[in-house]
Amino acid sequence: MKAVGLIVEYNPFHNGHYYHLQASREAADADVVICVMSGYFLQRGEPALLPRRERTEMALQSGADLVVELPYIFSSQHAEWFARGAVSILNHLGVDTVSFGSEHGRIEPFLNLLDFLQSRRTEYGHHIKEYSSLGYSFPKAASLAFQHMAPGKHLPDLSQPNNILGYFYTKAVNELGSSMSLQTIARVTAGYHDHNLTEADISSATSIRRRLTEDGGTPEAVEQTLPAPVYRRLKNYLDSGSSFYEWEKYFSYLQAKALTLPAALLGEMYEAEEGLHHRMQSVMKRNSTFHEFMHAFKTKRYTWTRLQRFATQVLTGTSKAEAAAAMETGEADHIRLLGMNKNGRAYLNTIKKHVDIPMISSLPKDKTPQQKLDEKAAAAYYLPLPAAERTIRWRREYEEPPLFFED
């Protein structure tokens, strides 16, 4: 069976994701679509709007055959580590093709980009340091360094977020020495960071989340942007009394952590650097909401996303030592199964003897460093729930089998 792999967050699943999934299957001539999906906390340093079980169900209802989890240590990271962890899982699963969305839409420029940056690695690093010393954030410094080297219009624009991820997917496949091929599907209609819903059927996940949360919208307000099964699942989720997970609900827990930990211990949290922990404690005392806190915490040197990721590490209590242990091999050390259909199960049966890391459906008693962080992330994610409901959710995490979708 031929498999195509997608690296996703589905926060939430929308028509653009459906288009990418179907176009990827067709372009790769694949029998199976495998999704590596972030679990509780995402690459932009924020909680997933919906729990992973609900997002897994939405993906299976929309054409995915197998959904597995991207461990927390990779899902809450900057683009290079995010890509590295996800690509390593697809490699272990024997995927034939990795497919990603991009603004560019053709794979050859990404391969050329890899050659361009590898051949000028020293120069690129030198220019990044130069721009960083001027106070620019790392992403901005990297973008300016890239433009400084006059790459030409034939290479992908690294100021575009999906192109950045595409580059790191390409780099990860190369560094892992994988035989997987790469393909990219051009994004349609909406840009990655577009904040407003479009009149078309495809809008960005950012704009959909904004309509559902900041604008106090209802599922009906975004219905045109979602596949019908996803809309029904979303509506049922909210009608049952459940609500979205967003940073404001975690602020009191973050505040308690930041203000009660000694500065030295807060400084041992992963991603604490250049006095960020001192600034967090100082700013935290003067603000009563997460949004206010972030506006006060923000600096020119650090992006909003970077600071949210640090806040996530503080919330989950992830130390530098724990992160280093979890990233020691530079790859995922297990594959956690979240859901599948008959096609996905058939694929697993054909490859299971050849997968050289454990495939699990629940966390084992003796956990690896990555699995320990996954457990902490689950505990943190469900903190806003009432105590009794929290217990039920945690039990589901460790006792219920992967979803099986009868398509």
Contact of 161 with 142, CB cutoff 8 Å: no
Region of 116 (left: φ > 0; alpha: ψ -120 to 50; beta: rest) is: alpha
The letter for the amino acid at 37 is: M
Spatial neighbors of 233 by CB under 8 A, at least 6 apart, are 54, 57, 58, 61
- Pick out the residues of the known binding site for ATP: 7-20, 101, 162, 187
SS (H, E, C) the chain: CCEEEEEECCCCCCHHHHHHHHHHHHHHCCCEEEEEEECCECCCCCECCCCHHHHHHHHHHCCCCEEEEECHHHHCCCHHHHHHHHHHHHHHCCCCEEEEEECCCCCHHHHHHHHHHHHCHHHHHHHHHHHHHCCCCHHHHHHHHHHHCCCCCCCCCCCCHHHHHHHHHHHHHHHCCCCCEEEEEECCCCCCCCCCCCCCCCCCHHHHHHHHCCCCCCHHHHHHHCCHHHHHHHHHHHHCCCCCCCHHHHHHHHHHHHHHCCHHHHCCECCCCCCHHHHHHHHHCCCCCHHHHHHHHCCCCCCHHHHHHHHHHHHHCCEHHHHHHHCCCCCCCCEEEEEEEHHHHHHHHHHCCCCCCCEECCCCCCCCHHHHHHHHHHHHHCCCCCHHHHHHHHHHHHHCCCEEECC
Orientation angle between helical segments 108-119 and 121-133, nearest 10 degrees = 80
Of 137, 133, 139, residue with least CA distance to 158: 139
Both structure tokens of 268? 């041992």
- Pick out the residues of the known binding site: 7-20, 101, 162, 187
